[in-house]
Chain A
């Protein structure tokens, strides 16, 4: 089939092609992009919405975990005031030293070291007593409801004749303040 167009149809053909190109460029592609973007947004939202149940489960799980951790930490008293806490602790150690039967108790708190959240206070304790009394005191200090680490215990006889020993204990008390626990 021989398709022969008249010469006068060429500009019309070009104009038609131009209109198509303009339509494609200015209408078709932008709309296609909008549709694709809307599809992406839809898929994203659908995928997020599909996570609702697992998120609810996560919320429940974390609630339970939070309760468990809080239940675990509630055994420890919070420390609103470090100085008051230290005085209370030294007072209790002093009482326990008496109850253990040791004499000449000496308590020397050192310089407080500030960590990021914890305050550590070195304390030197000196006393005299029998081995049993001093051993009892060390056990009592360790069992106090404070965070105390004994670093050094030195026992030596007071004199050749006596059964009494002199004792030097160095320990560190750790304080986690309330402001740092939350």
Chain B
């Protein structure tokens, strides 16, 4: 049983007390609200400060790492340029030795055969497109100058083929066929065939034949070059890096 129910106090006093209680509770709510907001604010500021302190502590190593990254990038670019240089020089340094081509054909020459003309040619294969890259499209080629040159040279080499035209005379055609068959044994020769045989007779009545033969030289594979360069020549398969 409360005093309100008994109502001994005068009405004016009761209302005053009621108003006082209400003000106290309002004040309490305000205090709680302000305290809550302050607590949240302080917590957030403390969290921000803590994170900022950690960030500040990382500034020096971060700066060091950024410099290292720049150094890595600079070195990477330098290595790339040097590698282009090395690849280009390596490619230019190792052409297919044409003196060996002549050796392979003329060294085992039988006495019955006389070569009257020999022509080693590196010629464009049929269907090969020898247009410069700038002519194919309007867009200028992208990349390091040495990389572009190497690509152009590799493309040119891929579209070329070494062949040998041999003209001569023989007084024994069977010997000529044996000779051509023996050429197939040579490692660098892909095929050797007679183009024409023209029989003639000397004034003393002995017979001889003029002949023309066509020899195809195998494409060269520079394995060590491919190992070095293969990674940067995605278009050139390992069976095509040739000159």
Contact = CB atoms under 8 A, between A and B. Distances in A.
Interface of A: 6, 9, 12, 16, 19-20, 23, 27-28, 31-32, 34-35, 38-39, 41-42, 45-46, 48-49, 51-52, 55-56, 58-59, 62-63, 65-66, 69-70, 72-73, 76, 115-118, 131, 135, 138-139, 142, 147-157, 174, 176, 180-182
B36 to A, nearest CB: 9
A46 B85 CA distance: 38
Interface of B: 22, 26, 29-30, 33, 37, 40-41, 44-45, 47-48, 51-52, 54-55, 58-59, 61-62, 64-66, 68-69, 71-72, 75-76, 78-79, 81-83, 85-86, 88-89, 92-93, 95, 97-99, 102-103, 106, 115-122, 144-146, 148-149, 152-153, 243
B99 A152 contact: no
A116 B147 CA distance: 9
Question: What is the interface of chain B mostly: helix, strand, loop, or mixed?
Answer: helix
Contacts of B22: 6, 9
Contacts of B152: 115
Contacts of B102: 135, 138, 153, 155
Q: Which of A34, A153, A154 gathers the greatest number of chain B CB atoms within 10 Å?
A: A153
A120 B48 CA distance: 66
Contacts of B33: 16, 19-20
A49 B85 contact: no
A48 B122 contact: no
A55 B61 CA distance: 13
Contact of B55 (A6, A45, A56, A72): A45
Given A27-B37, A69-B85, 4 more contacts: A58-B72, A116-B145, A135-B103, A150-B98
A35 B48 contact: yes
A42 B41 CA distance: 21
B148 A142 contact: no
Contacts of A153: 98, 102, 118-120
Q: Which of B51, B59, B66, B115 gathers the greatest number of chain A CB atoms within 10 Å?
A: B51
B82 A31 contact: no
Contact of A148 (B54, B95, B120): B95
Contacts of A27: 37, 41, 44
A46 B45 contact: no
